[in-house]
Amino acid sequence: MIKAIVGANWGDEGKGKITDYLATHADIVVRFQGGNNAGHTIINEYGKSALHLLPSGIFNPNTLNVIGNGVALNIPSLLEELESIKAKGVENVKLVVSDRAQIVMPYHILFDELEEKRLEKAQFGSTKSGMAPFYSDKYAKIGFQVNELFDEKWLEEKIDRILPAKNTLLVHLYHAEPLSKENLLNTLHEYRDAIAPYVCDTVKLFKDAVIENKEILLEGQLGTLRDPDFGIYPYSTSSNTISSYGPIGSGLAKGCDNVVAVTKAYSSCVGAGPFVSEFFDQDAHELRIRGGDAGEFGAKTGRPRRVGAFDCVATRYGVQIQSATEVVMTNLDVLGYLDEIPVCVAYKHNGEIIYDFCNTQQLYECTPVIETLPGWKCDIRDITDYHDLPKEAKNYVDFIEKHIGVTISMVSNGPKRNQIMKRK
């Protein structure tokens, strides 16, 4: 059974919590794209953890965690995260890294920083984790796969080929210091020694796991609207965030049986780009301080997240592109302070009402069409049975389900693992 857990929106939907919850029954949890550029916040018996690269099954001693070939592998960052998890008392951590995963080089991070600086006001709002330079090099075929670390001659020849081009850019475009071959080789040797115990032929691992009918969870990072093909390009990320990329980035020769798309009960979005249902000023401030487990601030950067009304247009598109078989709604508890809850049900574009998501330039020209639903005005975090929710809260979930067209199977009413209710 292969199940993907992916974001329906701009990321930060609460996928980490849902993966941690579902991982208690999973044999394998795999990260299939992205790097340490975003974070999942998980609150369980080990306290609060922000995971950036580690799969969210890492807390479960029976779950094997896999870093798939589609991931941007920052080796020092992975090891640091592993140490911090062990320091919390997590024992018997089971982790393997694909021998085909590519390595985030120190110069990827450097180029990311230098380019954002060069762009000044036109910058993309990169987290400066090296993602764009990393994925550019992967597709330009000048990246380093993990297995290449173990062939010294190959490694040296490759560095000799790559360095002149990198140094030309560094010196002449960015007016920075050139890289030295010796330093780079030393770093790669350190990486090789550190990652060696985790390296695995994950294609073979998944071939066997599928034959044995193992329960496999594919854990997405960010969400549909950050996908480089289907999202708000160029305010997107550099790897595909959609479930159909999951098997590719994992090393699975089989598609997903089930796709769980996670969405928040309102919208949140970090960084630049069009955001049609955005709140401003006091409305935004009120929601931001109440959202998530400790306000809507990025797990990676601490940046305040932009927040707004639930966007039916973006989410319907989001779940469709994810080919979601079910939806989990998180953060329903957060809306308990509102007398009335605005929901964006359509966009107005050039005087016309539209129901379909559109391209980035058109999105900038859209304004939200808002419908208002009655609030429930109470704290719902202690409720454990969906049927015990106030009728206004159930009505809100029904309304959204009707608009997005996919069953909302579970509703999360707090950041803790047990604050979740099955609906259908």
Positions touching ligand GDP (CB under 6 A) are 7, 11-17, 38-41, 43, 292-293, 299, 330-331, 333-334, 412-415
CB atoms within 10 A of CB 280: 10
Q: Give 16 or 133: the residue with its C-beta nearer to ligand GDP.
A: 16
Tokens read off for 275: 């955001």
Neighbours of 334 (CB within 10 A): 23
Instruction: List all residues 6 or more positions away from 230 whose beta carbon is below 8 Å from its beta carbon.
Output: 224, 242, 321
Neighbours of 187 (CB within 10 A): 17
412: helix, strand or coil: strand
- Backbone angles phi and psi of 143, in degrees to 5: -85, 170
Q: Give, in order, the Cα–Cα distances in Å from 287 to each of 48, 77, 161, 296, 333.
A: 22, 32, 51, 8, 12
Count of CA atoms in the C-beta half-sphere (13 A) of 10: 24
- The least CB distance from residue 21 to ligand GDP, in Å, is 10
Residue 11 or 246: the one with the smaller Cβ distance to ligand GDP is 11
Token pair for residue 272?
A: 């630049």
Work out the number of other CB atoms within 10 angstroms of the CB of residue 41: 18
Catalytic status, residue 12 = yes
Please state whether 111 falls in left (phi above 0), alpha (psi between -120 and 50) or beta. Answer: alpha
CB of 258 vs ligand GDP, minimal distance in Å: 18
CB nearer to ligand GDP: give 210 or 289.
289
The nearer residue to ligand GDP, 85 or 146, going by C-beta atoms, is 85
Residue 156's CB is within 10 A of a number of other CB atoms, namely 13
The CA distance from 421 to 292, in Å, is: 17
| Min separation Cβ 419 and ligand GDP, Å | 6
Helices (H), 67-223: 75-87, 106-119, 131-139, 152-168, 181-195, 202-211
Respond yes or no: is residue 40 known to be catalytic. Answer: yes
Query: How many CB atoms are located within 10 Å of the residue 204 CB?
Result: 10
Q: How far is CA 47 from CA 11, 58, 61, 88, in A?
A: 22, 14, 16, 8
C-beta of 308: minimal distance to ligand GDP in Å? 16
Nearest CB to ligand GDP, comparing residues 192 and 305:
305
What distance in Å separates the CA atoms of residue 4 and residue 260, rounded to the nearest whole number?
Answer: 6
Which residue, 70 or 143, is less far from ligand GDP as judged by CB?
70
Least distance CB 139 / ligand GDP (angstroms): 25
Least CB distance from residue 292 to ligand GDP, whole Å? Answer: 3
Catalytic residue among 40, 52, 108, 403: 40
CB of 416 vs ligand GDP, minimal distance in Å: 8
Cα separation, 390 vs 266, whole angstroms: 18
Q: Closer to ligand GDP at the Cβ: 12 or 148?
A: 12
Q: What is the DSSP string of 124-167?
A: ----SSSHHHHHHHHHTT---BGGGGG-HHHHHHHHHHHHHHHH
Q: Compute the least distance from the CB of residue 297 to ligand GDP, in Å.
A: 8
Active-site positions?
12, 40
